[in-house]
Structure formats: structure tokens, C-alpha cells
Amino acid sequence: MKRIIFILCVFISTHASALPIPSAPNLKARSYHLTDFHSGTVLASKDADLKLAPASMTKIMTALIVFRELRHGNLSLSENVRISEKAWRMPGSRMFIEVDKFVSVDDLLHGMLVQSGNDATVALAEHIAGDEATFAQFMNQVAKELGMINSHFMNSSGLPDDDHYTTAKDLSILTRALIIESPELYKINAIKEFTFNGITQQNRNKLLWRDSTVDGVKTGHTEDAGYCLVSSAVRNNMRLISVVMGTESIEARNNTNQALLNYGYRFYKTHLLYKAQQSLSSTRVWKGAQKTLPVGLAKNLYLTIPRNQYKALDASLEIKPRLMAPINKGQKVGSAVIKLKGEIIATRPLIALHKISEGSLMDRLKDDALLMLE
């Protein structure tokens, strides 16, 4: 028997077709990747799987681990950290902490994310894992968990190492996890300057001054990596994540990220099509204590499509025929299929929104008789 198909909504524009979307700008960087935060749609990309040195963008992974430790109660912002000689001696950008002094986790987080302090970063890594080498193992475990298949970390700060690398795509995955898991702590990335021990330093992400919609994330620079930046912005409830690696200057990394963000917002729009656990339809259930079952999606369904194309969407539900009780809440019972101008752009599992137990003997006998007549 064919699947039962319910047409939820069909929007077909009767007006002239929308203007075509231009191709993404061809920008001078070794690699870049622009994605929508909610839908995961890739809007522009160049060599996104190319393994490159991440420099201080490594600190996004360190931050994710620190945020997780805070969220799980293994760490507190007020907790004091003793500064080791190794942390104190770290080269490169620094927070200017002092050996054998105690500094709060809160201050170290600000020193790492606002000032890009390598000393603060190592102090946090040692406090969590005992030493930086063990912390790097932790980083690689988290990378594997997130599906960052082209990344490997040797240290917490991003200092050069031949075996320390990641990709623009993997950094996009990492940044999305950072924002989803700890939205309040993520806000540290938007702070423009931080003062510690009488020394005020500005955030190296100059897009925070240039574009009021930008709220992060992290810069990076070494001779090998070039000038890099992971940026994120929110305009009209649409968040984009832009990763740029290997530009020639600070201005170039700023301009490249800005160009990617502007392209994404100018030509695309993200829509929340259906909410999680929302009843999209109901279907007949046989031999159950109840006869009808509401169905919906387990997660919000976001779509990022070219602007002015919403009316060209075609959404339908394909529900399995002859559903028999018992049915568990969350059980897959079909699929939601979304098309744009006849092309499938998204498919999601349809699930049962509540449990239906097996009916009584009389219920089952009645339904057996009805099924024989179908």
C-alpha cells in the first residue's frame, strides 16, 4: 500500500520569479566557510576541509571545555587558579598573570577570550587536566565527539606545531557547539576590552567595533597560519558563522569576514518552518487504546533559502500506512519532506508525539474486522 501523504502547505508564487542569487564572492584567503547557525546550511565555502594551523582560534576549543566544566559543576567562576611557571612564561599574546599568584577562573576566561592571553589559556588547561599535554588529549576527544574529523590539537593556545591543525569547516562545527551549549558564557567573546592587574587590552576582533551585529568569536595569527578570524553575527534573528583562515593582514581578515557576512544576510533568509513537538497532523492508529495519533518533529526545523523564495516552498508529510498499537512516544512514523521549486531541500523524521497503548480485546477485534474490509 502506498504511503499516506498529507500536504501541509503549498506556497507557489504567482508573481514573476525572484532575481537569481549571485555566486559567493571569491575572496583572497586560503580557506573560508560561511554557514547558518540554526539550519547548518553552507552559504559560501572555499577549501573548507583544508588542514591548516588555527593559531589562537584553538582557544575556542579550550573555551568549550572550560564552559562544559562550569556547566557540569566541576568548576566555578569564583574558583582560584594557581599560576604555574609554564603559564607565566608563555610567549605571544598575554594577560600578564604572575607566577605563584592565584587568579579566578572568571578573570582567566576573560584574559583568554578578550585579550587572547596564552598564559591564561595554559593556566586554565593545567587547572582542569593537571598539565597541558593531558588537556590536549581532552581536546581531541571532544573534537571526535563533535565530528571534527580533520582536526588534531597538541596544545591549548594554538602555538605552532606540525601536528596541530584544523579546518574552516571543523571550526564552524566547534563554534556552533560553543554557542548552543553555553549561550551566556559565550557573551564574553563580545566584550571589547578587559583590564587585569592595571593593564587594559582590547579585543583583537575589530569587527566588534565595525559591525554592531557581530558578537564574537576569536582571532588568530602566527607566521604559519596567517591572519585568521572566526566571526558570528545576528541580524533579524538570523545568526551566521563565518570562518576565515590564512589572509595576509588584520584588515584582510576583517574585510573577508565582513564580506561573507554581508553576502549571507543580503541574499539569504532563515525561516523556522516547524517547532519541535508541535502537532503537524494526526493519523489513524489501529488496535490501540486511542484511535488517533498526533505527529510532529523531534527538533525545530529551520530552513535557510534565498530571499523572497518562501512562497515557492512545498511541505508535505508522508505517514506510514496502517500504524498498529502499541506505539511509543518519539517512535518514527513517517517523514516530513520539504521542496523548493520541486527539489527536495530537507527531509526530517516524523515522530509520535505521545504513546498509544494496545487496546482492549474488543478494540482489537473491531479493528481486525475493519481492516479486512479495506
Largest CA distance in the chain: 85
Give alpha helix (H) positions in 89-246: 105-113, 118-129, 132-146, 168-181, 183-186, 207-210
Read off φ and ψ for residue 60, nearest 5 degrees.
-65, -40
Of residues 39, 56, 84, 93, which has the active-site annotation? Answer: 56
Of residues 31, 39, 59, 172, which has the active-site annotation? Answer: 59
Rg of the chain (C-alpha set): 25
Nearest alpha carbon to residue 281 among 95, 82, 40, 4: 4
Catalytic residue check, 287: no
Of residues 31, 93, 116, 156, which has the active-site annotation? Answer: 116
* Beta-bridge partners for 337: 316, 347
Report DSSP letters for 224-249, one per residue: TTEEEEEEEEEETTEEEEEEEEEESS
The CA angle 58-61-64, to the nearest 5 degrees, is 150
| Burial letters 208-243, b for 16+ CB under 10 A, else e | beebeebbbbbbbbbeebbbbbbbbbeeeebbbbbb
Catalytic residue check, 182: no
Catalytic residue check, 299: no
Read off φ and ψ for residue 312, nearest 5 degrees.
-90, 5
CB 295 within 8 A of CB 281: yes
- Is the bond into 217 cis (omega within 30 degrees of 0)? yes
Q: What's the chain's length in residues?
A: 374
Coil, helix or strand at residue 212? coil
Distance CA 283, CA 295 (A): 8
Tell me which residues are annotated as active site.
56, 59, 116
